[in-house]
Amino acid sequence: MAKFEPPTGCYIGAFVQLDPVVRGDFRRFEDLTQKKHASYFCYVGYGKPFPTEWVQRVKSAGAVPHIAWEPLEGLDAIEDDDYLTQWAEDARDVACPIFLRFASEMNGTWMPYSGNEHKYIEKFRTVHDVMERIAPNVAMVWCVFAQPISTIARYYPGDEYVDWVGVNIYSVHRHDGDPNKPAGEDPRDLLKFVYERYAERKPIQISEYAATHYCRATARRLVDFAIGRMSVLYASLPKQLTRVKMINWFSVDAIGEKLADNNYALTSDERVLSTYAQLISHPHFLSEVVAAPATPPAEPPVAIAAVPAPPEPPALPPRPRKGFNILLRGASGDVLRGNVVILADVGYEERVKLVTLYVDGRVRAVRNSEPFRFEWDSREVRDGTHTLAIVLYDDSYAPSKPQELIVAVENR
Quickly state the pLDDT bin for 410 (edges 50, 70, 90). Answer: confident
The answer to whether residues 275 and 339 belong to one domain is no
Residues 81-122 pLDDT 10s = 999 999 999 999 999 999 999 999 999 999 999 999 999 999
Q: Is the pLDDT of residue 224 over 80?
A: yes
Question: What local confidence, expressed as pLDDT, does residue 330 receive?
Answer: 66
Within a domain: 1: no
Within a domain: 299: no
Q: Quote the number of domains for the chain.
A: 2
Calpha distance 88→84 (Å, rounded): 6
Q: Any idea what the CATH number is for the domain that residue 273 is in?
A: 3.20.20.80
The answer to whether residues 189 and 236 belong to one domain is yes
Q: Any idea what the CATH number is for the domain that residue 347 is in?
A: 2.60.40.10
Question: What local confidence, expressed as pLDDT, does residue 288 receive?
Answer: 97
Residue 242, Ramachandran bin (φ over 0: left; ψ between -120 and 50: alpha; else beta): alpha
Within a domain: 108: yes
Mean pLDDT of 339-347: 76
Question: What local confidence, expressed as pLDDT, does residue 394 receive?
Answer: 58
Neighbour count for residue 78 (Cβ, 10 Å): 24
Question: What local confidence, expressed as pLDDT, does residue 369 receive?
Answer: 56
Question: What local confidence, expressed as pLDDT, does residue 126 receive?
Answer: 98
Mean pLDDT of 317-338: 64
Within a domain: 310: no
The answer to whether residues 353 and 276 belong to one domain is no
The answer to whether residues 175 and 276 belong to one domain is yes
Residue ending a domain, choose from 286, 312, 342: 286
The answer to whether residues 32 and 121 belong to one domain is yes
Within a domain: 294: no
Question: What local confidence, expressed as pLDDT, does residue 368 receive?
Answer: 53
Residue 192 to residues 147, 162, 211, 241, 313, Cα–Cα distance (Å)? 11, 19, 18, 10, 50
Question: What local confidence, expressed as pLDDT, does residue 390 receive?
Answer: 83
Structural domain of 240: 10-286
Question: What local confidence, expressed as pLDDT, does residue 400 receive?
Answer: 73
The answer to whether residues 179 and 253 belong to one domain is yes
- ∠ Cα 113 119 123 (to 5°): 85
Percentage above 90 pLDDT, the chain: 70
The answer to whether residues 340 and 200 belong to one domain is no
The answer to whether residues 34 and 152 belong to one domain is yes
Residue 231 to residues 211, 280, 299, Cα–Cα distance (Å)? 10, 10, 49
Calpha distance 263→259 (Å, rounded): 10
Q: What is the maximum alpha-carbon separation in the chain? A: 79
